[in-house]
Amino acid sequence: MEHATLKKMLYEHCLQFVQERIGNIEQAIENARAAQQDDTKSSAGDKYETSREMMTQEIENNATQLAEARKQLQLLRSISPDKTHEQVAPGSYVQTSAGNFFIAIAAGACATAKGTVQCISAASPMALHLLGKQKNDSVAFHGKSYLVEAVA
């Protein structure tokens, strides 16, 4: 599989990951708001207030997660999967002696024809070690040595 095709596939994996995350969070917020509106005040006023406060906190927590997911989407959209890299940067596919990485957002593993590729954030510890490296550079991370075999 050619690197350009591989990068497009990895980019799509990340895009689908973050869009699903946004959809799930938006649904959770909608469900909490509906439950909050359906909650009618009973004679046990304290129970009602406690329940309503818990739902408000759930909405706020989900809103924070939604803002973070939207930042991830914005970051992802700033990456061009068509761009080739000589040095590791956001949007790079990095093939190493001990694993393959796509520097974009934290979206987990993606199975490809070239093996499993870890989609990691540029702010992750591994990416911070790789950023700026070129083919044939080596990186030590958690006591393990990684030889950069390819950057695309």
What are the residue ranges spanned by the domains of the chain?
3-77, 93-151
Which residues have C-beta within 8 Å of that of residue 113, sequence separation ≥ 6? 1, 6
Please say whether the beta carbons of 85 and 152 come within 8 A.
yes
What are the φ/ψ torsions at residue 40 (nearest 5 degrees)? -95, 145
CB 135 within 8 A of CB 149: yes
- pLDDT tens-digit map of 73-109: 999 999 999 999 999 999 999 999 999 999 999 999 9
Is the entire prediction scored with pTM above 0.75?
yes
127-150, pLDDT tens digit by residue? 999 999 999 999 999 999 999 999
